[in-house]
Amino acid sequence: MTTNSDMVKLWNSDAAQTWWTRPERYDAMIGPLGDRVLAAAALQPGERVLDVGCGAGQLTTQAAAAVGRTGQVVGLDISRELLSVTGRRAAEAGLGHVEVLEADAQAHAFEPSSYDVVISRFGVMFFADPVVAFANLRAATKDGGRLAFVCWQPAPSNEWATVPLFAVAAHVGFPEPPPPGAPGPFAFGDPDRVRQVLTDAGWSEVDVEDVQTTVSPGGARNADEAVAFITEDTFGKMLLANAEPDKREAALAALRTAYEEHNGPDGIRLKAAVWVVTATR
């Protein structure tokens, strides 16, 4: 069976370190989009929920509050460090009905028909074989169960990605683009592909909602904070990986200028476009 070994390696490496050392930055940036998932999932008290790619666990703990102590939420991720944060957060919040599971959702042998709802906040775009992965998640879901997740629309529709990309690339060059549909943040940018993947995996009543909004890079209140965030983030590290010292400084100066153009009363705000996807078992 195809696995996600490359993603396992990435999300357990120093490249992803900020995700577990400063999770509040990502909570500030994409937490409101997780709220969209919870609204779409319409969780009910007593339900059993699987959070795929749970990361540092903000959505996991929110889901646990929604289902109450008669329910259960399992936060699944391939990163041991992120699961440690999720477990700690759940314990600090007194959420004894949260469990963490280190596993590859594409290949893990779930107990059949054991979940009422599968949710995810930007955790399902990294599968090597998404049809196999979503078929596996479907098998883990009860008849009539629900799927709800949020994923990014194509990169050109997302200023949080294009603003740093073009500012930095002017000095250090553009990174090699991934093949179409390759695992990564924008793998589900094509809504028709999303529908086809889920349909091929056996899900029904697939709906893809277009959501246009803004996000703050790491909750940045000013350009300096935005630069500090992106240079520590996985994406920024990739952009600057091979930059020579003088070109790196020029790239950072350009990045600061680019962010300053988006500074306002609420700090740095950049356009973001996502799909909120729902389906039924």
Does 219 reside within a domain? Answer: no
Does 244 reside within a domain? Answer: no
What local confidence, expressed as pLDDT, does residue 1 receive?
47
pLDDT in tens, 101-146: 999 999 999 999 999 999 999 999 999 999 999 999 999 999 999 9
What is the CA angle 176-152-247, rounded to 5? 35
- What tokens does 25 get? 């930055």
Total number of domains constituting the chain: 1
More confident residue, 176 or 48: 48
- Alpha helix (H) residue ranges in 42-190: 58-67, 80-92, 130-139, 159-172
Give the full edge-to-edge strand order of the sheet including 204-215.
Answer: 98-102, 72-77, 48-52, 115-121, 141-152, 270-280, 204-215
What local confidence, expressed as pLDDT, does residue 7 receive?
83
Spatial contact of 190 and 154, defined as CB atoms under 8 Å apart: yes
Distance, in Å, from the CA atom of 217 to the CA atom of 257, rounded to the nearest integer, reads 15
- Within 8 A by CB and 6+ apart from 204, the residues are 279, 280, 281
Using alpha carbons, list the distances in angstroms from residue 117 to 63, 147, 223, 280: 10, 6, 39, 9
pLDDT at 207 over 90: yes
Does 237 reside within a domain? Answer: no
Does 230 reside within a domain? Answer: no
Spatial contact of 264 and 131, defined as CB atoms under 8 Å apart: no
Q: What's the gap between Cα 178 and its chain centre?
A: 18
Does 226 reside within a domain? Answer: no
pLDDT at 198 over 70: yes
Distance, in Å, from the CA atom of 222 to the CA atom of 216, rounded to the nearest integer, reads 10
Does 257 reside within a domain? Answer: no
| pLDDT-above-90 percentage for the chain | 84
Does 10 reside within a domain? Answer: yes
What local confidence, expressed as pLDDT, does residue 178 receive?
83
Question: What confidence category does residue 84 fall into, taking pLDDT thresholds of 50, 70 and 90?
Answer: very high
**Domain span at residue 57?**
5-156+178-214+271-280
pLDDT at 32 over 80: yes
Spatial contact of 119 and 94, defined as CB atoms under 8 Å apart: no
Tell me the three-class secondary structure of 44-70, residue by residue.
CCCCEEEEECCCCCHHHHHHHHHHCCC
What local confidence, expressed as pLDDT, does residue 225 receive?
97
Helices 130-139 and 191-200: crossing angle in degrees, nearest 10, is 50
CATH number, domain with residue 190: 3.40.50.150
Does 135 reside within a domain? Answer: yes
pLDDT in tens, 236-263: 888 888 889 899 999 999 999 999 999 9
Token look-up 């998640």 returns: 137
What local confidence, expressed as pLDDT, does residue 53 receive?
97
DSSP classification of residue 179 = P
What local confidence, expressed as pLDDT, does residue 3 receive?
59
